[in-house]
Amino acid sequence: MMNEVTNSVVEALPQFQGYVYPNEANFHPVWSTLIVVYPYITGLVAGAFIMASLVRVFDVKALAPVYRLSMLTALAFLLCATLPLLCHLGHPERCYEIMMTPHMTSPMAIFGFVYAWYLMAVLLLELWFDYRQDFVKWSKTTAGFKGFLYRVLTLGVTDVSEKSVRLDMKMEWILSIVGIPSAFLLHGYVGFIFGSIKANPWWGNVLMPIMFILSAIVSGIALCVFNYIVLNWIRRRPLDMRCLDAMAMFLFYALVMDAVVEGLDVLHRGYAAEEGFAVLQTMIHEKLFYTLNIGQVGVGTLVPLLLLGLLQVLPRRVPEATRRVMIFCSGAMILLGVLMMRWNVVMGGQFFSKSFRGVMSYKMEFAGQEGWLISAVIMCLPFIILTVLVKLFLSERLQPCEHVLEKSSKA
Amino acid sequence: MHRFKLPPQILRLILVAMAIVGSYLVARSFLVPPSFGEYGWYRGDALKLIAARDPVFAGKQACDECHSDILHKLAKDAHKTLSCEGCHGVSREHCDNPDILPVKATGSHCIRCHEANLARPAWLKQIVVKDHYGPKCTECHLPHQPTQSP
Amino acid sequence: MNHTINRRSSLLRMGAAMAGLLTVSFARAAKAAVQTVFVSTTAPKGYDPTKHKWLMCIDASKCIGCGLCAEACKKENGVPEGPYYRTWIERYIIPKPKPGSDLTRGEAIVDSPNGGMHGFPEPTLPKDKIEHAFFVPKLCNLCENPPCIQVCPVGATFTAPDGAVLIDPNYCIGCAFCIQACPYGARFLNPATKTAEKCTLCYHRISRGLKPACVEVCPAEARIFGDLKNLAADDPLQKFYEKNRVQVLKPHLGTEPRVLYAGLDKEVR
């Protein structure tokens, strides 16, 4: 009798291959699409910022036209970076505890401070110093709400003497230099959230933060390429091909580095073949076949490498229109590929049991707290914010002050 | 004498930064629970909160208060390690009010442990129920003194 | 004139001091009002967590796989139905090697239907194909270096002074990071409360002098529970760790579990 009862109950439960711990025998992994989106957005922030820093710190003249766009992109995405985390919490109303009683050994608690530091001490500050002179100018020439906004954003400082503007530029330079390690820290920490989980062989890996930083740079540059092309297409303005080629070059080199490190990771895992390697192999061959082998490696890495590499080898032979399409397509494919990479990391780590004896299935929900609808909304939000930011701070009607243009052409 | 003066934008930022840090510290003094840090990096009150739950299983000692005769018999035989509530079910309500009777133990409770299963250790007496007399265990075995027959 | 200025400034100072005092007392009152929210109302009596050190050990060779412990745990702690277990039993079936192969054993088959709560069905393998078969009860391993506590961002999970690894249900934000960090699968997210949950060693029982529910109902004495700070003269816990050669689960992770196992096999993890 007992056996019959047990058997019927067992059959009613979702089927899993092999053995998984009873607490893992759940169709809904505790971290779902929201946690896929979270490192993706954070990575885009870090990447876009590093791309912008190339102008300020390394004095890359060709990239000056996208400096402000990349900074605003970074800001728009940073404002949404904590949203997926917040939505995913069981008790979002208790989120203040992370800042009030941060547990210093937890990567997630430190992330709160790294985030606050990066948002307020780096990104907003650098933007403020960059825009201060323009705010003063625009607040005088613009009427209505916009003018009021610019006046508030000056924080009441109207000094635009040469000495003071020179100080602004100096501060910007310092902030960029501080900003690069901060951007590395921001996204390195996200990688560390996964890399520090020693219980999970798919995550617990010293290379994880480095892979996250490199893929962040790649995705950030790709996003800037994407935004730059789309913005100029909407405004019906010609693209600055020198700038676009420079971005494509940096994108190519970043992608090479990223591909090498990720390849090294795969090689190391295969060579060391530690405990649980067999279950990781099933993951690669079955569970993650499409998103990993085709999405991340094929579409996200190999094809863009080929396209961008071709542009590096034959820089002037390809006609401009073709080049534009090739760069745009590689950018879009890289953006998709990096999203797949985040999926593979986050979901891949939850598709197998920590007993290494079985794998779980996952049915993606549409609605609900862990459904993909809310993730899609969160993914769209930064673009909406960016539109507003571009309307306010990158308007065609409001010309920036001389010094910025001067500097960008001189620098 | 040339006095050093902070540039206006830096001064303004320092003020903003102080306001942010200040409001953080004020919020912190308000929102950190009072017992936080009593024993470590957690709410000391949590221990009391977790301990406040009412037990469901009454425990063998509670049964001993009224049924010491049965427990005495039990303690002398092979079933001495068994808990009363393992077979008779949760008896907390019965403890508080003896009129509420606990679940009557049946043969299925015997089979739960003594049905033959290869993973069971060899020292445990096991039977294949369908080859044995059947699930009417108590006709031949006394549950409280399993080595004796009625 | 000096006088008036002095008087005025001293008056001003007094005024300022009064205002300061008022603000401070007002802030204190407000703080107290805010913090009453956090203070739980039901306080237990006479239990001092610093005077105990609880430990559970498992003698796997004694486990008969009846599932009473897993069932009692769900009842005692109000654990929701479904794949949520604070303790469970695993069954390991190690087949004989294929004839002619040079192996010592076949690949282990592990199962735990409903956490073993309602017993186990007959093995799918016939008797003559099985080399070993045994049960292993599982629970929170009470790690010395708990990875779950390390990653909690707010300090909602902690090792109590008495050795129990607990979760503060009113402080947990439900981020599930601890669930990911636990190598033993001992934690789950309660779908009703949306907070992480795990074995508390039946903290509400042991603080009242009772045994944990699983220990209470175990008919085979496979679970040995005791207080290392108050060992009795003939304590089964002391006897257990003195008599047996013990093992812990996943020792290579450096979590230093305090839950000791006797009678394990290499396949158990």
Q: Do the bridges between strand C188-189 and strand C54-59 make them parallel or antiparallel, or are there none, so unpaired?
A: unpaired
How far is B72 from A174, CA to CA, in rounded Å? 83
Residue type, A277: F
Give the amino acid at A337. G
Distance of CA C79 to the CA centre of its chain: 14
Between chains, do C176 and A30 touch, taking CB under 8 Å as contact?
yes
Separation in Å, CA of A158 to nearest CA in chain C: 34
Q: Is C123 on the interface with A (CB under 8 A)?
A: no
Tell me phi and psi for residue A396, to 5 degrees. Answer: -75, -25
Q: B105, exposed or middle or buried, with CB in 10 Å at 0-12, 13-18, 19+?
A: middle
Q: With beta carbons under 8 A apart, name residues in chain C contacting A197.
A: 147, 151, 180-181
Q: How far apart are CA C187 and CA C146, in angstroms?
A: 12
Are A193 and A111 a contacting pair, CB within 8 Å?
A: yes
Give, as one character, the DSSP assignment of residue B129.
Answer: G
Among chain B residues, the shortest Cα distance to C211 is held by B59
Nearest CA in chain C to B124: C64
**The two three-digit tokens of residue C134, written as one number:** 């045994």
> Which of A305, C65, C176 is CA-nearest to residue B114?
C65
C-alpha distances out from residue A129 to A154, A166, A270, C18, C117, Å: 10, 10, 49, 42, 64
Helices and strands, counts by H and E, chain B: 7, 0
DSSP C33-56: HHHTTTS-S----S--GGG--EEE
Q: Which residues of chain C does A103 touch, with a Cβ-Cβ cutoff of 8 Å? A: 152-155
> If chain A, 411 residues long, is cut into consecutive pieces of 10 residues, what is the mean pLDDT of each piece?
48 68 88 92 93 88 92 95 92 93 92 88 91 90 88 87 87 89 88 93 93 95 95 92 93 96 93 89 87 92 94 84 93 95 93 91 77 91 95 83 50 37
Q: Which helix (H) or strand (E) holds A90?
A: none
Q: What does the pLDDT average to over C198-210?
A: 94
Q: Which chains touch C (3 or more CB pairs under 8 A)?
A: A, B
Among the ranges given (A302-306, C124-128, C234-238), the one the predictor scored with the smallest mean pLDDT:
C124-128
Closest CA to C242 of C253, C231, C255: C231
> Do the chains contact at A167 and B27, CB–CB below 8 Å?
no
Single-letter residue type at A179:
G
For C:242-261, CB contacts with A below 8 A are 252-254
Look at A106 and C118 and tell me if their CB atoms are within 8 Å: no
> Which pLDDT score, from 0 to 100, does residue B113 have?
92
Give pLDDT tens digits for C35-78.
Answer: 666 554 454 578 899 999 999 999 999 999 999 999 999 999 99
Contact status, residue C57 vs residue C237, Cβ threshold 8 Å: yes
Q: Identify which of B16, B32, B112 has the shortest CB distance to residue A2.
A: B112
| Cβ–Cβ below 8 Å for A31 and C269 | no
DSSP output for A306-366 = HHHHHHHHSTTTS-HHHHHHHHHHHHHHHHHHHHHHHHHHHHHTTSB-TTSSEE------S
Contact C18, C193 (CB under 8 A): no
Alpha-carbon gap, residue B63 to B20, rounded angstroms: 62
Distance CA C190, CA A90 (A): 9
Q: Cα–Cα distance between B136 and B110 in angstroms, integer?
A: 10
pLDDT of residue A185: 87
Residue B37 CA to residue C162 CA, distance in Å, equals 16
Q: What pLDDT was estimated at residue C203?
A: 95
Domain ranges of chain B: 60-139
User: A7, A23, A95: best mutation site toward chain C, by most C Cβ within 10 Å?
Assistant: A23
Query: Is residue B120 within 8 Å of C65, Cβ to Cβ?
Result: yes
Sites in chain B below the pLDDT cut of 50: none
Q: Which residue of B has its CA nearest to A101?
A: B32
Residue of C107, C175, C182 to mutate when probing chain A, most A C-beta within 10 A: C175
What is the average per-residue pLDDT within C178-205?
95
pLDDT at residue number C2:
52
User: What was the pLDDT predicted at A10?
Assistant: 45
Residue C238 has pLDDT above 90, yes or no: yes
Provide the whole-model pTM. 0.88
Distance (Å, whole) CA B92 – CA B58: 5
Q: Kindly determine whether residue C121 and residue A10, on different chains, have CB atoms separated by under 8 Å.
A: yes
A164 with B27: Cβ contact below 8 A? no
Report the alpha-carbon distance of residue C131 to residue C214 in Å, rounded: 29
- Cβ distance A99 to B24 less than 8 Å, yes or no, reads yes
CB contact (8 A) between residue C135 and residue B31: no
Tokens at B52, concatenated: 């406040």
Nearest to A251 by CA among A298, A292, A212, A216: A216
Interface membership of C111 toward A (CB under 8 Å): yes
| Contacts A–C by Cβ distance under 8 A | 147
Q: Is the dihedral of CA A353, A354, A355, A357 positive or negative?
A: positive
Q: Mark which residues 130-149 of A lie under 8 Å from B by CB.
A: 132
Q: Which residue has the higher pLDDT, C169 or C23?
A: C169
Rounded Cα distance between A313 and A254, Å, is 16
Task: Using alpha carbons, select from A240, A405, A265, A264 the residue that is nearest to residue A348.
Answer: A265
Which of C155, C183, C195 has its CB closest to that of A103? C155
Residue carrying structure tokens 């950190």 = B32
Are residues A50 and A63 in contact, defined by beta-carbon separation less than 8 angstroms? no
Q: What is the DSSP letter of A18?
A: E
Residues 6+ apart with CB under 8 A from A38: A81, A84, A85, A88, A190
Chain C, window 116-155: residues with a beta carbon less than 8 angstroms from a chain B beta carbon: 119-120, 122-123, 127, 130, 133-135, 155
User: In terms of DSSP bridges, do strands C54-59 and C261-262 run parallel, antiparallel, or are they unpaired?
Assistant: parallel
DSSP string computed for chain C? -HHHHHHHHHHHHHHHHHHHHHHHHHHHHHHHHHHTTTS-S----S--GGG--EEEEEEGGG-----HHHHHHHHHHTPPSSS--SSEEEEEEEEPPPTT---SS---EEE-GGGGTT--PPPSS-GGGEEEEEEEEE----BSS-HHHHH-SSS-EEE-TTS-EEE-TTT-----HHHHH-TT---EE-TTT-SEE---SSHHHHTTTPPPHHHHH-TT--EEEEETTS--TT-HHHHHHHHS--B-SSGGG---BS--EES--TT--
Are A30 and C179 a contacting pair at CB < 8 A? yes
Q: Is the dihedral of CA B123, B129, B131, B136 positive or negative?
A: positive
pLDDT in tens, A349-398: 999 999 999 998 777 778 777 788 999 999 999 999 999 999 999 887 77
**Greater pLDDT, B134 or C200:** C200
Angle, CA A375 vertex, CA A389 and CA A23 arms, to 5°: 145
| Contact across the interface for B36 and A157, Cβ inside 8 Å | no
- Nearest chain A residue to C158, by CA: A103
Nearest partner of A190 among A300, A286, A84, judged by Cα: A84
Residue A186: per-residue pLDDT: 85
Q: Give ipTM to 2 decimals.
A: 0.88
What are the structure tokens assigned to B32, written together? 């950190």
